[in-house]
Structure 1
């Protein structure tokens, strides 16, 4: 398709000033402290995953960022300005905090045209964004006939009407099938490559590991860890983890017993988990003891494991 931005310079350098900065953000509802002194940054040109257990304060934080909830303390800015102070918010920020809602009898195209009229945008933007999210074939279908996945795409189309520098999405993959999730991943990554800021909240940790450049992990309203995905994963890898499959498990355990720090743990699937020693050392010990190996695989921590370890025991609601 031919992308027609709403304003000059819709790509390139203008997309670089959409950094999100959250500083000391706090929200208290009577006896409930939903967000507690939260601080983090989201850089332009990258996809940032916003992660946390249920009740961790993610949605409350996003709503404060979009001026839908007033903070008890602290600030949340986009490009250095509060959302309420943006001169042209629809062209700066696009957001989807839940599956798109629309009049049941209105078509997808007409729903978007109504939003264009309200925002002072040209009608052609409705067709532009429908094509962008792959909904052109359903443009004339009424909203009541849209699946949840189609409603998610329509919501993203609405968020993109102003060709914004910043995109904020809360659980955008809900209702999407595997093909739709793959499309979503490519779409959001392509926006980040254009220099846009993309902040995505999700519970699909395996997908976030594939999608995100950076992660912000919170629990009980507080920051637990922030950084590039690779660095966060590496920071939790305090010792080597090697998966071994052998018909001579006892012999291998005996061979490794003389290596300081090596621990062998049987797994339910018949493999052994060897920690405290690298894979080459395991192979060398097996060779010296004439132990037959069927598998020798170094394991790295995944985002799900790191997330569970970082948030373990931290209550989501107080």
Structure 2
């Protein structure tokens, strides 16, 4: 695939009888960046990815890769790599033979199987049978299969499922490296803390509709500079009384600290100073992706 490899979803919708799985959804995934595709269960993420890969026919709208629909691509394996679930293979076939079969079918040189296994760290398990692979190993094998054609676009649905912390960090490093090479990387995930570390951009959906999109820092910034203040004092009752004028939400923590929402750290400090309340800790905590996600999608998930 030459030229831009942006993914463009334009007013995409999918209706299943009484269920509107995806509703007039539009967003862009840029090359050279990792884009996190986030939403509650039933938000329409997997349906969107399936429409992008022409596994599901849209009711209306379009989804293109480099300006073309997936089914219009010549030798799509050389342009787009996708993993929508843990890799599936014949239980008695080894990992390397599984990839060689795909190479043969796609007209790719057999050495690409060895290169892809090395890329995902499965070379030591190359000759182990698939039935002996853990879920995490199957995820790696799926990514190896997706990378056989050295594609410029990578689409992954929950790729960290089954990976241990070391495997999740490996996944993060791999996807960042692939994006740094100029590839377009779209990742659907429920691991919000990991997405904050991995993604350059996020697309947040709920009930099939777009809720927010943009660079991670901008999405976080849209919810305000600090959503909570952590404060510790030997006299929490007196501090709570001093803060009552602001109408904040105050939540005691197991370690004795208070989490104060609805006021800035400077206001907490000034109220404590005026009331002569001794403070041992005063920290403004910025919104993280999980907090922003929950605020943006509150009451919008629906039952799908």
Query: What residue in structure 1 maps to residue 54 of structure 2?
Result: 67
Partner of residue 169 from structure 2, selected from 175, 182, 186:
182
User: Is the Cα–Cα contact under 8 Å of residues 10 and 63 in structure 2 kept in the other structure?
Assistant: yes
1:286 aligns with 2:272: yes
1:138 aligns with 2:125: yes
Q: Distance in 2 between matches of 1:206 and 1:240?
A: 17
TM-score by length of 2: 0.94
Per-residue deviation, residues 154-200 of structure 1 (Å, max 9, x unmatched): 00000000111000000101110111011101111111111111100
Q: Distance in 2 between matches of 1:73 and 1:265?
A: 47
Partner of residue 200 from structure 2, selected from 189, 205, 213:
213
Q: Distance in 2 between matches of 1:218 and 1:241?
A: 25
Q: Which runs of 5+ in 1 are unaligned?
A: 1-9
- Which SS does the other structure have where 2:187 is aligned? strand
1:263 aligns with 2:243: no
Cα 1:238–1:298 shift into 2, 3 Å: closer
Q: Distance in 1 between matches of 2:299 and 2:262?
A: 26
Displacement of 1:300 in angstroms is: 1.4
Q: Distance in 2 between matches of 1:281 and 1:317?
A: 41
Equivalenced residue count is: 303
Q: Distance in 2 between matches of 1:242 and 1:162?
A: 50
Q: Distance in 2 between matches of 1:102 and 1:252?
A: 62
Large movers: runs of 4+ above 6 Å: none
Partner of residue 24 from structure 2, selected from 24, 32, 37:
37
User: Is the Cα–Cα contact under 8 Å of residues 116 and 161 in structure 1 kept in the other structure?
Assistant: yes
Query: What residue in structure 2 maps to residue 83 of structure 1?
Result: 70
Displacement of 1:276 in angstroms is: 4.2
User: Is the Cα–Cα contact under 8 Å of residues 249 and 262 in structure 2 kept in the other structure?
Assistant: no
Residue pairs, 1:79-158, within 5 angstroms: 79-158=66-145
The Cα RMSD (Å) is: 1.9
TM-score by length of 1: 0.90
Partner of residue 37 from structure 2, selected from 43, 47, 50:
50
Deviates more, 1:84-93 or 1:279-288: 279-288
Cα 1:154–1:266 shift into 2, 3 Å: closer
Per-residue deviation, residues 185-235 of structure 1 (Å, max 9, x unmatched): 111111111111110011111111111111111111111111111111111
Q: Distance in 2 between matches of 1:291 and 1:157?
A: 59
Per-residue deviation, residues 71-117 of structure 1 (Å, max 9, x unmatched): 11100000111001112311110000000011111110011011111
Q: Distance in 2 between matches of 1:252 and 1:216?
A: 40
